[in-house]
Structure formats: C-alpha cells, structure tokens
Structure 1
Amino acid sequence: MATVFTAWNYDLSFLELFAFLTSLMGVGLAVMGPRKTWHWWNISSALYGILFLQEKYFASAALQIIFIVGGIWGWFGWGAKGATPAKLSPKERVQWCAIFLLSWAVLYPVLKKIGAAASLTDAFGFVGSAIAQLWMVLEKYEAWPLWFVVDAVYTYQFFHGGQYLTALLYLIFVGLAVAGWRTWLKKADASPAIGAQ
C-alpha cells in the first residue's frame, strides 16, 4: 500500500485516507437524510472492503458488500425527497434484539475458527451494522441508537488493531449517531410506528 505519511509508527495509506474521507461524507449526509448520501456510502464501502480484507477483519470486509447493496436499495427506496423516518413497534424491537443476539452468537465462533483479527468485536459489529443498515434503508429511527453502540465497539476494535485513522472515524461516527438519533427522532415523532400493536 502506498503511504501518505508515517507518524508514531503508523503508516497512513492512501486507501485508508480516501476511505476515511468518503465515509465521513456519507455518514455526515445521512444524518440529514438526503438521497445523495448513498453515493458516498457506496464509494467508502468499496474502499473499506479492500482495506478490511487486507487487515483480516473478514466480517467487516464482508459487511461492505451488504452496505453497497443497501446503498443501491436506499437510493431507490428513499426517493428524491430523502428519508422519512418512522419507528419500529415494541414487538419488532424485541424480535430484532433476539435476531441480533442469536446472529452474534453464531458468527463469533465462525470468525474465531477462520482466524479473524478480532472475532468478538467484528462479529458484534457485523451483525449490528447489517441490522442498522437495513433499518437505514427502511427509514427506521432506531438505526441511529444501534449505530451509536456499533460505532463505539468499532472505535475500540480499530484503535486496538492499530488502524488509528479508522478508529478516529468511528469515534466521529459515535457523535454523528447522536446527531442522527436526534434529527430522525424529531421526524419519526411526526409519524406513528408501522405495525404498532
């Protein structure tokens, strides 16, 4: 990998720098909910897919494919006006929590067996991100609180793994998740939960 600079024994590659910048743009735009966020999301996902594969974060690399598919779906699903957030019903929240926990429990030993760099956190991040991505595409406000937790876990994972710029990115994502949480909650409060019982 071509290096932009080296500081404190950390080689910043052009790949990580461009992945960082495009990802920051995509998530920053997503807070407000315009349709154009998906272009940036897809570019950053392709770049991070390559980087994560090189670093042996196998679940995180595979997750980028889900992000790209979600980005295409989101582009068509959101339409020209962008996101119109709504809330999940309490029953849906419980169901998704169970899906999350079960999926995490299944994926963790698989990643450990194949020698992934950070099996526990990578499995957590993969499952949480896949669900949060689906909720983003479906315009569910609950995506943001989930992103908050997932981004905090990824901040730890990437800092511990020595990907300091990516760790900083996920720390910024934690703050953006709070902003998205507030913004989408205001919009979601104006519309009732779909399927509420």
Structure 2
Amino acid sequence: MSLIEVLGAVLSALAVWLTSRRSMICWPVSLTAAGLYCWIFLKARLYADAGLQIAFCLYVVYGWRHWQKIQSPDGRIQVRRPKTVAILKGLLSGATGSAVWAFILARFTNDPTPITDATLTAYSMLAQYWDTMRYRETWALWIVVDSAYVALFISRGLYPTAMLYAGFVILAAYGYRLWKPEASIRVIANTDM
C-alpha cells in the first residue's frame, strides 16, 4: 500500500459521491484521481486499466464540458432515459471492445489476467460514457463492474483499491437511487467550474 494509492482511493470515492449528487466539482476531482490511478495501475501491470484511466481523463474533460452546456439556468442537471437500442448498442460495443483488448493484452503484454482486465476496462468505458450522457443505467453497470473489480484487485494485492471499489458498489447503489429520470436536483457546487 502506498500513499499515492490511498490518496487515489480517497479522491476516487469523493469523485463518485460528488457525481451521484450531480455536483460539477466531480469533474476536476475525477481528473486528479484518474491521473493517480494511471500510475498505480502501470506499476501493478494492469495495462488496460492504466489505459482506462487515460480514457477516463478524456471522458472527464468531455463530461465536464457537456454537463456545463446542458445545465438548466436554475443549476439543475436532468437525468436522461436512453432508448433500448442505445443500451443494446452500448452492451454490444462493450463486448467488442473487450474482445479486442483481450487479444492485444494476451498477445503483446505480460498482463496476468488479460480477459478480465479487458472486459472490465471495456465496460468501465461504457459506464463512463453513460455517465456523461446522464443515463441512470450507468449506476447499474457500475455495480456489476465494480463488484468484479473488487475480486481482481484483491488477487493483485491492491487492498486499498479493492476496499475503494467495494465502496463504489455502495455509492453506485446510492447514485442509482438518486438519479431518477423524472427528478432533478440542484447542483451542489459552484456552477462556474
């Protein structure tokens, strides 16, 4: 356990909690946490997850800008209902991304769990995309993905990160409860961010 891992875990938990509350400050906190975890995962030889953190950084920049554009004049962020076809396309793209990543990881890296690493990475990217689109389903997918990550991180000896992801499961359930499409809550943080 390193100080960087503990700091990354704390910032990541804070970022998810802020996202569940639809607070604009979630974006810079998420960006910092993703940068720290990129380093942590590179050191643990979880290359797809390190790459995922880079993708998260790009999603954070996109999500931050997107949420600013769609924010109501009264500071509210609306949850959207995706069409069934959008959900199915997303799940199919996750499966395709998983297969491609698994092939690359198995062929070109020393990743000890290429299929698991690739699958969790692909579906994490999908969940992050759904978050930027403000789909409530993001939280259901995070519950599944984060539960599997707990086992992966325990197997790699990343115990603070495993505890973090167990907490993410709880936070995802909280986010799912709060993100009702017909409900809208006022953004908590300063909307100028």
TM-score w.r.t. structure 2 length? 0.87
Q: What does the per-residue CA deviation read over 1:47-71, in whole Å, with 9 as the maximum and x for residues that have no partner?
A: 0000100110000000111111111
Alignment: residue pair count: 178
* Contact 2:35-2:53 within 8 A present in 1 as well: yes
SS in 1 for 2:77: coil
Aligned counterpart in structure 1 of residue 29 of structure 2, from 40, 63, 67: 40
- Share of identical aligned residues, percent? 30
Aligned counterpart in structure 1 of residue 89 of structure 2, from 79, 95, 106: 95
- Which amino acid letter does the alignment assign opposite residue 182 of structure 2? D
Q: For 1:70 and 1:82, how far apart are their aligned partners in 2?
A: 21
Aligned counterpart in structure 1 of residue 60 of structure 2, from 52, 57, 71: 71
Q: For 1:84 and 1:117, how far apart are their aligned partners in 2?
A: 41
- Which amino acid letter does the alignment assign opposite residue 102 of structure 1? T
Match of 2:175 in 1: 180
Shift of 1:140: 1.3
Highest RCO, 1 vs 2 (Cα 8 Å, sep ≥ 6): 2
Match of 1:195 in 2: none
Aligned pairs for 1:1-197 (under 5 A) are: 12-79=1-68, 81=75, 83-113=77-107, 114-184=109-179, 186=180, 188-189=181-182
SS in 1 for 2:169: helix
Q: For 2:77 and 2:34, how far apart are their aligned partners in 1?
A: 20
- Which amino acid letter does the alignment assign opposite residue 64 of structure 2? W
* Contact 1:125-1:154 within 8 A present in 2 as well: yes
Q: For 1:19 and 1:174, how far apart are their aligned partners in 2?
A: 17
Instruction: Please give the root-mean-square deviation of Cα atoms over the aligned residues, in Å.
Output: 1.5
SS in 2 for 1:83: strand
Q: For 2:20 and 2:81, how far apart are their aligned partners in 1?
A: 16
5+ residue gaps in structure 2?
185-193
SS in 2 for 1:162: coil
* Contact 1:35-1:83 within 8 A present in 2 as well: no
- Which amino acid letter does the alignment assign opposite residue 94 of structure 1? L
Shift of 1:106: 2.0
* Contact 1:55-1:117 within 8 A present in 2 as well: no
Q: For 2:50 and 2:133, how far apart are their aligned partners in 1?
A: 23
5+ residue gaps in structure 1?
1-11, 192-197
- Which amino acid letter does the alignment assign opposite residue 5 of structure 2? E
TM-score w.r.t. structure 1 length? 0.86
